[in-house]
Amino acid sequence: MPRRFIRRESWEFGGAPPGSEETMEPRSRKRRLVSTLVFTTIFFSGASLAAVAGDQLRPLVANDSQELAADTTTTTEAQPTPAETTDASAPAAAPGFLVVKAQPWGKLFVDGKFAGDVEGSRRFTLATGAHTLRLVNGKKARPWTVEIESGKTTTREHSFLEE
């Protein structure tokens, strides 16, 4: 019958180098328990540190993606029509506000452009008028059409947990 476990005592296979007189007794149960406890503590403290650091950096990453999206937009200058020049001289209407509540989270798109991540509740400032909203969570999406009024707050909420 073949041997299933071959012990390689040589230093080439991770054994003790020649000349060392170490006994081959297994380590004590207490020592193994302490080693396990120490490595477990180190692992979970590192994991919790990474989670806290991730939560602290999340707003910065969201702001960076919004800035990058703003940087990639291009504008073309055209000659204004007489109607546009009269509108420009009139005072601009104050913006309105949109509060979106999403459970557990969602990515909000306003008029087809990414506006930001929503975890729980988040407030957005939008120009007055009609806007098309789309709240996306993975493959699930919830569309809305809202009318934003100057200086007023409009609220929309959706739970992806109930779908």
pLDDT digits (tens, 9 = 90+) for 93-124: 788 999 999 988 899 999 999 999 998 889 99
Residue 110, CA distances (Å) to 17, 51, 131, 134, 145 in order: 69, 30, 7, 7, 10
Show the tokens assigned to 160: 């992806």
User: For residue 74, is pLDDT > 60?
Assistant: no
pLDDT of residue 147: 92
Domain for residue 52, yes or no?
Answer: yes
Report how many domains make up the chain.
2
Are 148 and 98 spatial neighbours (Cβ–Cβ below 8 Å)? yes
Q: Report residue 85's pLDDT band, with 50, 70 and 90 as the boundaries.
A: very low
- Per the listing, tokens 């009318």 go with 147
Domain for residue 127, yes or no?
Answer: yes
Domain for residue 6, yes or no?
Answer: no
User: Which residue segment(s) compose the domain that 147 sits in?
Assistant: 94-162
